[in-house]
Amino acid sequence: MIWNIRILACLWLLAGLAGCSSSDNPQETGAASAGWLYPFVKEGKWGYRDAAGVVRLQHTLSVDWCEIIRPEHSQLAPFCRNNLYGYVHADKGIVVPARYLAAGPFREGRAPAQDTSGLWGYLNEQGEWVIRPTYDWAGVFGGGAATVLQNGRYHILLAGGQAILLPYVRVFDFYEGLAIVESAQGYGFVNARGREVVPPRYLGATGFGHARAFLQRPGGGWVLIDTSGKITSEASYEAVYGFTEGRAAVRMRGTWGYIGADAQAVLEFKYEEAYPFENGIALVKERDQFAWIRSEGEYAFDKKQPVPFPFSQGLAVAEEKGLAGYLRPNGGWQIPAQFTNAQPFSEGLAAVEQDGKVGFVDTEGRFIIQPQYESAQPFSEGLAAVRNGGQWGYIDRKGEWVIRPAFGGAFDFQEGLGAVAEGELIGFVNRKGEWVFRPQFRELPLFQCGSAVGHLADGRRLLLTPQGSATPF
């Protein structure tokens, strides 16, 4: 059985906090996402095609993997080759060579990137530094501002390079000119000038989309607010996802449906589970089965599945006759159902189970790493956690051990650190397998925006950084 902690973590983030600089994060989809271009691999080389399968860029790219191109933001998307990142154009191919340790998506004409010194700055679409690498972490621009981290302190960075110091424990990415902030008392919002629009005293928040966001009141219910921080509806929701493509999935009285920015229902409350719309389709659960629907509620295609895996890198896991395969956005099979179990694609590879063992396939369905493991997690930052002999370690894209099996559990690498478990406690190692944080956390800390919150067994909280600092708050 393949257990996917990444998907559960991403869904959890959407239900509460907006993510940071992830081009697979649906929270970034403020506008309609028609026209997306999906990477594909053929004969070992990469190209791009649209949702209907029409090739836009021939398979000529010798790279490890590429991200989706989202024209509503930019014609460029990151690619990876030999653990370095660059940018590919929808028509021109590679336009910025692979020379960065990390690279985020373009928004408002600039993208965060990490140079070989380990510091972050911002590039224009010609690959030139418009803000030199100065920061320990940098987020995407949204509404003329971005969040950056320097010397353990968060700042707002304006397009001209001016930085405004903020007093909060954590600050998340900007969406529509507003960012979630976290203090010891809770979550709120600031605008691009650092002014509090919503004081940080709420249990949770979603990023803004279509001028709306959700806040979780101390009593537990979620309410809808506008960009001034005003509550726009008296309705209280039990659970929510942020707005994407003009609608948000919300739960009331145990049932999920979709509302518009005016808080009116746009799709009937009838689902057991419902997830955000992305590129015109959403995953829902009805009568104990998951299926995809379009914006008016009609089924997108007749394929169903038993697990809540959304589209990832343009493909989705689906089941037919008890076996798993991968669908394209038009509902056709990209990889026919043939595996006992399957995970979503990540970094151009997906873990699949065949004959009781797990290996990794590319988007053509070819085994790049032969089935040989007992279990596996998705690739992240060029490494995948796999289990052999009851112990977990990490492999690279060639299937070679980078960190040999030594742990009771292992999860995705996040911002340079891999989460591993010993007994019921979780710690973090670096890419050499060295301890950065020894096992001490009772829940899996999720690194976002240059930091994570670790919950100790005695109830204390620590603010963690990838550099190894731990500050009580």
For the cut 90, the answer to whether the pLDDT of residue 86 exceeds it is yes
State what percent of residues in the chain have pLDDT above 90. Answer: 81
Whether the per-residue pLDDT at 84 is higher than 80: the answer is: yes
> Helix, strand or coil for residue 108?
coil
Q: Residue 288's pLDDT is what? A: 87
pLDDT at 331: 85
Check if the beta carbon of residue 147 is closer than 8 Å to that of residue 171.
yes
- 311 to 7, 286, 350, 469: CA distances (angstroms): 11, 18, 12, 35
Q: Average pLDDT in the 183-188 region?
A: 96
CA of 245: how far to CAs of 27, 278, 350, 406, in Å? Answer: 9, 7, 27, 44
Euclidean distance between CA atoms 195 and 419, whole angstroms: 35
Q: What gap in Å lies between CA 147 and CA 169, rounded to an integer?
A: 13
Residue 306's pLDDT is what?
63
Grouping H, G, I as helix, E, B as strand and the rest as coil, residue 118 is: coil
Per-residue pLDDT tens digits for 224-247: 999 999 999 989 999 999 999 999
Among the listed ranges 122-136, 178-192, 235-249, 321-335, which one has the minimum average pLDDT value? 321-335
pLDDT(96) > 50: yes
Task: Band the pLDDT of 305: cuts 50, 70, 90.
Answer: low
Q: 3-class SS at 6?
A: helix
pLDDT(11) > 50: no
Instruction: Determine the residue type at 326.
Output: Y
CA distances from 116 to 99, 100, 338 (A): 8, 6, 42
Q: Tens of pLDDT along 98-134?
A: 999 999 999 999 999 999 999 999 999 999 999 999 9
CA separation, residue 366 to residues 43, 44, 316 (Å): 10, 10, 17
For residue 28, pLDDT beyond 50? no
pLDDT for res 8: 38
Which pLDDT does position 169 carry in this prediction? Answer: 95
- Residues 325, 337: contact at Cβ < 8 Å? yes
pLDDT score recorded for residue 34: 56
What is the band of 138 on the pLDDT scale with cuts at 50, 70, 90? very high
Mean pLDDT, range 68-79, rounded to an integer: 95
Distance CA 369, CA 396 (A): 10
pTM summary value: 0.89
Q: E strands, 206-315, where? A: 213-216, 222-225, 239-240, 248-252, 255-259, 265-271, 273-274, 281-286, 289-294
Give me the pLDDT at residue 302, please. Answer: 76
For residue range 258-285, what is the model confidence (pLDDT) as tens digits? 999 999 999 999 999 999 998 889 999 9
* Averaged pLDDT, 444-473: 94
Q: What is the mean pLDDT of the chain?
A: 91
**Residue 2 confidence (pLDDT) above 60:** no
The pLDDT value recorded for residue 3 is 35
- Residue 13's pLDDT is 42
8 φ, ψ (degrees, to nearest 5): -65, -40
**Chain-centroid distance, C-alpha 301:** 25
Is the pLDDT higher at 395 or at 280? 395
200 pLDDT above the threshold of 90: yes
Q: What contacts 193, CB < 8 A, 6 or more positions away?
A: 156, 164
Q: How many residues does the chain have?
A: 473
pLDDT at site 308: 74
**3-class SS at 5?**
helix
**d(C-alpha 331, C-alpha 353), whole Å:** 22
Q: What pLDDT is recorded for position 219?
A: 85
Residue 62 phi, psi (nearest 5): -90, 80
The pLDDT confidence band at residue 14, using thresholds 50, 70 and 90, is: very low
Read off the tokens for 170. 């954590």
Return the structure tokens found at 312.
């990832």
Complete domains list, the chain, with CATH: 1-19+207-300 (2.40.128), 404-473 (2.40.128.630)
Q: Which amino acid is at 369?
A: I
- Look at 42 and 407; give whichever has higher pLDDT: 407
What integer pLDDT is reported at residue 311 of this predicted model?
Answer: 87
| pLDDT at 12 (0 to 100) | 35
> How far is the C-alpha of 150 from the C-alpha of 134, rounded, in Å?
8
Confidence (pLDDT) at 304: 65
Confidence of residue 309 (pLDDT cuts 50, 70, 90): confident
**pLDDT at residue 289, as a whole number:** 87
CA angle (354 as vertex; 349, 358 as ends), nearest 5: 50
pLDDT (mean) for 420-427? 96
Mean pLDDT for 63-92 is 95
> What pLDDT, on a 0 to 100 scale, did the predictor assign at position 212?
97
Range 333-342 average pLDDT: 95
